[in-house]
Amino acid sequence: MVRPFLDIKDLHVRVEDKEILRGVDLEIKGGEIHVIMGPNGTGKSTLASALMGHPRYTVTEGQVLLNGESVLDMEVDERARHGIFLSMQYPAEVSGVTNSNFLRAAVNAGRDKPMGLFPFRKKLDRAVEELEMNPSLPDRYLNEGFSGGEKKRNEILQMKMLEPSIAILDEIDSGLDIDALRIVGENITKMAEDRGEGMGLLLITHYQRLLNYVEPDFIHVLMGGRIVKSGDRSLALRLEEEGYEWLRKELGIEAEEGDIDKVVQ
């Protein structure tokens, strides 16, 4: 098994005429859990979308390499087949396509030899049970009529079935009640342990509460369109307790009117 390595170098991303990311550098290796935190509008979800190839986001500078191969040269489906997974902040509903059919097609798209129906269903049923989901959800249309919490658990179900090499979870904890947060967190941790060095995780969140169930290796703070500070879990705890103002003062950063912080030159 090759240990995955995602290398983000000096990444600049623009949305229409506004530059959002202004030089992000980040390395994620298999077996590592990275967490990105930061104020609203500083580019956390932009980073996730750009890594997955959303057409609205234009990369103007920098590189993204997966095991030495340029991710930016790949179409969205190629990125997925190479093992990059993105959980959606707002999962879409797809009428007419059952959850199980969608998942089986996605699983087999990344395999040289398709997984048979019975092995697939056995794996799916086990994952549904581990996530404490309603047993009927796999046979319902994708996310249609799902609660917010069910949609988020369904994203983790997809991750468990696809077994990606790099998983990007964008605010997977938003909208979850206490029980659902625990279930999601414990399943993320279990999958990380099961996959070991075969999977790297990037979690994007506003709150450290998810970290009660997922033990991170690195915490990164994104402000002004770049990562301005990294540390261990103690950094997330301080941010939860004190907010971002102390960090702005420490680094000479002020809040810009609008949705992005800027570094005072």
CATH label of the domain that carries residue 17: 3.40.50.300
> Does some domain include residue 54?
yes
The band of 28, judged by pLDDT with boundaries at 50, 70 and 90, is very high
Residue 43 near residue 220 (C-beta atoms within 8 A):
no
**Helix ranges restricted to H, 11-112:** 44-52, 76-81, 99-109
Q: Rounded mean pLDDT of 49-67?
A: 96
Write the pLDDT tens digit of every residue in 152-195. Answer: 999 999 999 999 999 999 999 988 999 999 999 999 999 999 99
Confidence of residue 207 (pLDDT cuts 50, 70, 90): confident
Distance CA 8, CA 48 (A): 12
pLDDT at 33: 98
Please determine, for residue 263, whether its predicted confidence score (pLDDT) is greater than 60.
Answer: no
In this prediction, residues 250-265 reach a mean pLDDT of 56
Q: What SS3 class is residue 97?
A: strand
Q: Provide mean pLDDT across the span 21-32.
A: 98
What average pLDDT does the chain have? 91
Asked whether the predicted pLDDT for residue 258 surpasses 60, the reply is no
- Alpha helices (H) in 65-197, listed in sequence order: 76-81, 99-109, 117-130, 148-162, 178-195
264 pLDDT above the threshold of 50: no
Residue 257: pLDDT band with limits 50, 70, 90: very low
pLDDT of residue 256: 53
Domain contains 127: no
| Secondary structure class of 257 (helix, strand, coil) | coil
Q: How confident is the model at residue 236 (pLDDT cuts 50, 70, 90)?
A: very high
Cβ pair 194, 225 in contact under 8 A: no
The model's pLDDT over 81-90, given as tens digits with 9 standing for 90+, comes to 999 999 987 8
Average the pLDDT over 244-254 and give the result. Answer: 88
Range of the domain at 81: 5-97+166-263
The amino acid at 2: V
According to the model, what pLDDT value does residue 92 have? 84
128 part of a folded domain: no
132 belongs to a structural domain:
no
Which two structure tokens, joined as six digits, stand for 120? 């697939």
Has residue 227 been placed in a domain?
yes
- The number of folded domains in the chain is 1
